[in-house]
Structure 1
Amino acid sequence: MQRIARAALALLVAACAAGASAQTDYPRQPIRLVVTFPPGGSADAVVRMLVPRLNEKLGQAVIVDNKPGAGGNIGLSLVAKAPADGYTLGVGAAGALSANSSLYAQMPFDVQKDFRPVGMLAGIPFVLVGNPAVPAKNAKELIALAKAQPGKFSVAHGGNGTAMHLSTALFAQLAGVKVVEVPYKGSGPAALDALSGQVQLAMVDLPASLQQIKAGKLVAYAVTSPKRLPQLPDVPTMEEAGLGGYDSTGWFGVVAPAGTPPQAIAKVNAALNNALSDPVIQERMRELGVEPEPGKPEAFGAYIQSETAKWARVIKQGNIKLD
């Protein structure tokens, strides 16, 4: 009996050692990175910009697998159902990871239960722009005009349920104005119609508007981020324009299936932060209109929770639904 007990103990110790070794040696095979955006956009470009550095730091190939659709729900559903071994990770945005739970009556996953945060990648600030024919020189004058003429001003944005849509709703709520929201299929078309005068205003990202702002063909009233942007140092934030507490930035980051070993999450997080802290990569990201956001998994998890609560309030107050 003693011999049997000793043999069983030896097997148990060996199994534990093997499990520990597997976690310590992670990764031992390529990593699938499910990206919930279509190829060619700024978010997809950022991910592909980071991949060579991730390959180098992790010692394995990181394979990008684009799975767009349903506001990010399709791609993240695949991640939620994947084995929790660190070899399938997902890149999701503010919609799927925070706002969609309030926008959709049914969700294919529970963000808090089905995922573990790995790290935030980038923030995407927006800017409220207007056609030069709008008789307002700054955001405070614009808000005063909109209050005096409820429903007169139309605001284009990048599509229902997008961060630009929610940024527009938050602007209207905090400013206490009634505007006509006009959804477009992306930031570019929204900016073009503001440029042509089809709509007076637009809530868009920097790549769609920066050139026209600098050329004086669009007026930049305020940026949605909590700090001024280096690309538009003279444009105030919404809070500086009088909307206390306004903070609406699009963002995206990496998550793993719940149950993924902490050692795997820590290694990927360290590789991400190494890439995101590189001045050359930071400059290239800013050229795409996004801000690098290195940080710890715990901070990213807390941010997801705070963003979920914030957008739940905005969506409820605006009675915004997608189904």
Structure 2
Amino acid sequence: MVRFILALFAAALPFALSGAQAAPYPERPIRVLVPYPPGGTTDVMARAMQDPLSRLLGQPVVVENRAGAAGAIAAREVAKATPDGYTLLFSNDGPSVIAPLLQKQAGYDAMTSFTPISLVATQPMILVVNGDLPVDDLEGFVAYAKRQEKPLLYAHAGTGSSGHLSTELLAQTAGIQLSAVPYKGSSVTTLGVMNGEVQVLLTTSTPTMLDYIRAGKLKLMGMSTTTPDRLPPGTPLISDMFAGFKQENWFGLVGPAGLSPDITQKLNAAIRDVVAQPEVKRIFLAAGFIPMTGSPAELQATIVASSKLWQSVIAERGIAAD
């Protein structure tokens, strides 16, 4: 009799486990970690999606800010989380790709530690110079930089930041000498170039930056990729002059490695739906972002390309973490 009961239990166990594994997702709140302080542009995007995602998924989506170590703190927490879809990272190439390349103790790898879910947006970059610099266009800027006995100074928001590595890539591609001046945050880099502490800044095309350009406090030399119509007509693409330079920031949602395909696809579909909503698009565009979703495979390809690019720039320019 005992053997018979055990046999029945053994036969029923796989079905019980299958039922448990097939439990609908999500069943509880989902945490989305943002690797920057509250109020920044990445945080603004995450919170713009928070309520629509909650309604669509039927569970609260909770945005949590985990700033520090150039985003590595948040990225490491997600990389080490259980791959059940309840701990996700809203990130860009800084925390996801650059931080583990520069920080030996980052504790995660861009290629193996995450499951890509979806692109969310891109953000073009613009090259600006101090309003008093005697140049009016990209060609004139490059010629002026090459004539100087000392390198022009450029601002960036910290070692390994997008602006830092992108400017090094520009200097390498254009064959000019630029010397880095680190600042603590992107807002003070803008003040630094307007005040003449530095001459050059490669940064994101936010509405505030464009106001400074219209006011003549900054001169716009070029943009990294095609952008919305808010930029002045005829703004040149840097890549038209230097084919090796095509750079824009990307933002996307990832989970820990091992996230199931079903959960990945459900989250991907939800992101696509939310980013297409008019109010979300309005908030993104107002903050200087271009809404852009894609498949998990497309995000993975973006991560691979970013990793190859920044690994090369870091090695060739001799960049090391502070």
Provide TM-score, normalisation by structure 2. 0.93
Equivalent pair of 1:53/1:271 in contact (CA under 8 Å): no
Cα distance change of structure 1 residues 283 and 156 upon mapping to structure 2, 3 Å threshold = same
Q: Which residue of 2 aligns with 1:254?
A: 253
Cα distance change of structure 1 residues 228 and 18 upon mapping to structure 2, 3 Å threshold = closer
Cα shift at 1:250: 1.9
Q: Which residue of 1 aligns with 2:272?
A: 273
Cα shift at 1:154: 1.3
Output aligned runs, 1:289-308, within 5 Å: 289-308=288-307
* SS state at 1:75 partner: helix
Whether 1:210 aligns to 2:210 is yes
* SS state at 2:303 partner: helix
Higher deviation after alignment, 98-107 or 175-184: 98-107
Q: Distance in 2 between matches of 1:15 and 1:238?
A: 57
Equivalent pair of 1:228/1:237 in contact (CA under 8 Å): no
Q: Which amino acid aligns with 2:271?
A: L
Q: Distance in 2 between matches of 1:313 and 1:295?
A: 26
Higher deviation after alignment, 242-251 or 35-44: 242-251
Equivalent pair of 2:124/2:226 in contact (CA under 8 Å): no
Cα distance change of structure 1 residues 295 and 233 upon mapping to structure 2, 3 Å threshold = farther
Cα shift at 1:180: 1.7
Q: Deviations over 1:240-261 (max 9, x none)?
A: 2x11131222222211111222
Cα shift at 1:150: 4.8
Q: Distance in 2 between matches of 1:121 and 1:65?
A: 18
Q: Which amino acid aligns with 2:197?
A: Q
Whether 1:37 aligns to 2:32 is no
Output aligned runs, 1:90-239, within 5 Å: 90-207=89-206, 208-224=208-224, 226-234=225-233, 235-239=235-239
Equivalent pair of 1:228/1:236 in contact (CA under 8 Å): no
* SS state at 2:176 partner: coil
Equivalent pair of 1:72/1:93 in contact (CA under 8 Å): no
Q: Distance in 1 between matches of 2:222 and 2:156?
A: 15
Equivalent pair of 1:82/1:88 in contact (CA under 8 Å): yes
Higher deviation after alignment, 182-191 or 228-237: 228-237
Q: Which amino acid aligns with 2:223?
A: V
Q: Which residue of 1 aligns with 2:18?
A: 16
Q: Distance in 2 between matches of 1:115 and 1:87?
A: 14
Cα shift at 1:265: 1.4
* SS state at 2:42 partner: helix
Cα shift at 1:3: 7.3
Q: What is the aligned-residue identity percentage?
A: 36
Q: Distance in 2 between matches of 1:251 and 1:173?
A: 22
Cα shift at 1:282: 1.5
Q: Distance in 1 between matches of 2:65 and 2:47?
A: 11
Q: Distance in 1 between matches of 2:157 and 2:230?
A: 21
Q: Distance in 1 between matches of 2:4 and 2:301?
A: 51
Structure 1 moving runs of 4+ over 6 Å: none
Output aligned runs, 1:39-58, within 5 Å: 39-58=38-57
Cα shift at 1:233: 4.5
* SS state at 1:34 partner: strand
- Runs of 5+ in structure 1 lacking a partner? none
Q: Which residue of 2 aligns with 1:27?
A: 26
Q: Distance in 2 between matches of 1:123 and 1:243?
A: 21
- Runs of 5+ in structure 2 lacking a partner? none
* SS state at 1:198 partner: coil
Cα distance change of structure 1 residues 296 and 38 upon mapping to structure 2, 3 Å threshold = same
